[in-house]
Amino acid sequence: MLTSLAWKNVWRNRKRSGIIIAAITFGLWGGLFAGAVMIGWGDSMVSSAIDRDLGHIQIHRPGFTADHDINDYITDAAQIISQIKKIPDVIGVSGRTVVMAMAASPTSTFGVQVDGIDPTQAQTVTNITSLIREGNYLTSHSRNRAVIGRKLADRLNLKLRSKIVLSFQALDSSMVSAAFRVEGIFKSEATTFDESHVFVNRTDLTRLLGDGTIIHEIAVRTANSEEMLPVLNQLQTKYADLSVESWKELAPEIAATFAATSQWSYIFVGIILLALTFGITNTMLMAVMERRHELGILIGVGMNRGRVFAMILLETIMLSLTGGIGGLILGAATIRILSHTGIDFSSFSKGLESFGASAIMYPTLPLAMYISLVVMLILAALIGASLPAWKAVHLKPSTAIRD
């Protein structure tokens, strides 16, 4: 009976209730959409980094990522790669020879990281092939071919078939310089990566280093992010003498940014709900003040004040949930559509590239946030109803009836 009475009271003033319901609906829709864009942006950064270079897991000699000592290579790397390939959830493994070098052209020089790769292996872990804008991805059988980023090509004034001279330290500590022909130019979502990485055939690089078996880094790609942790634990146990790290440990700044996007989504929605709470409070106060006479009679004829308090709370929760459900449905539908079509932020591509994010954003929102939002909305309704309900139960029947 109390529930039925509360629902009827919500619609006694249809215009006022309609306005607050619309405010809640569009407020939550905006909050959900903004949160989905933030999380989509974080997902874009993570996916781009994993696809571009990191993979899900990387294996090195302890300390290699700190100083890139050329002598810290993985012994029996070929055997380890063969063993990792047999793990069911692993879809790609790539061994890399990594050296820090000085890249030079007739016009300029710049410090780069040279990755010696097996092109066939590398394509199972990264998507550099799909990022090629000019030329090919190390498909030529000629010696000393290189693939460079667009940013580096512009900095060194290089074009396809131009020569780039790479100078680096060999295993015997001597300096080696070799000219490589630019076979391909790629462009990724991260300008810093494009400017600082050069890809060459591993056989060409190891020949110059003086040992054809050198592999400093093993990149592993799992079926999806959910399968990464079991594979990571398995590899850490099996290769305890090596450093086995996930992408979160290899790129902590990206992991921190991704975590921050989720936190900011909740904060943003919380701010919207806080603003709506004031509107809910004001609406319910007006409703209570207009019904002083009626509430005074109910209390005067013996209605328990606790039931009056509960009725006001129910009215507020019903009002809030009506708008909240509309906002959830509208937000979920918008996010679902745009998660397939994407949002084109090409006009902001320069800024996004500095963070390593794609210009095409695919909003996404985890189910947990929808559930959390319903809980937050109910809490906001309870907070918003507290003052009006307190006012209602503290009415003096004699005064309220005379009013």
Task: Check the CA dihedral 112-115-116-119 and report its sign.
Answer: negative
d(CA 265, CA 403): 47
Residue 169: its H or E element: strand 163-169
Asked whether the predicted pLDDT for residue 300 surpasses 90, the reply is: no
Average pLDDT, stretch 29-56?
84
Determine the pLDDT at residue 387. Answer: 81
* Longest Cα–Cα distance in the chain: 102
DSSP annotation of 118: -
Q: pLDDT digits over 170-179, tens only?
A: 888 888 899 9
Asked whether the predicted pLDDT for residue 321 surpasses 70, the reply is: yes
Q: Are the C-beta atoms of 388 and 288 separated by less than 8 Å?
A: yes
Alpha carbon 107 to chain centroid distance?
39
Task: Check the CA dihedral 153-155-156-159 and report its sign.
Answer: positive
Asked whether the predicted pLDDT for residue 296 surpasses 80, the reply is: no
Three-state secondary structure call for residue 211: coil
Asked whether the predicted pLDDT for residue 400 surpasses 60, the reply is: no
> Is the pTM for the entire model greater than 0.85?
no
- Is residue 113 very low, low, confident or very high in pLDDT (cuts 50, 70, 90)? very high
Task: Check the CA dihedral 357-361-362-366 and report its sign.
Answer: positive
What Å distances lie between residue 58 and 62, 77, 175, CA to CA? 12, 13, 28
DSSP annotation of 50: I
- Is residue 147 very low, low, confident or very high in pLDDT (cuts 50, 70, 90)? very high
Please list, in sequence order, all residues whose beta carbon lies within 8 angstroms of the beta carbon of residue 284, skipping any fewer than 6 positions away. 312, 315, 316, 319, 384, 385, 387, 388, 389
Asked whether the predicted pLDDT for residue 389 surpasses 80, the reply is: no
Q: Which of 146-155, 256-265, 362-371 has the highest mean pLDDT?
A: 146-155
Determine the pLDDT at residue 164. Answer: 93
Among 326, 227, 214, 246, which residue's Cα sits nearest to residue 58?
246
Phi, psi of 109 (to 5 degrees): -135, 160
Asked whether the predicted pLDDT for residue 203 surpasses 80, the reply is: yes
Q: Which of 268-277, 299-308, 327-336 has the highest mean pLDDT?
A: 327-336
Q: In the Cβ-directed half-sphere of 397, how many Cα atoms lie within 13 Å?
A: 10
What would the 3-class secondary structure string for 314-350 be? HHHHHHHHHHHHHHHHHHHHHHHHHHHHCEECHHHHH
d(CA 52, CA 357): 11
Residue 257: its H or E element: helix 252-290
In degrees, rounded to 5, the angle at the alpha carbon of residue 91 between the alpha carbons of residues 89 and 96 is 125
First to last CA, the chain: 27
d(CA 191, CA 189): 7
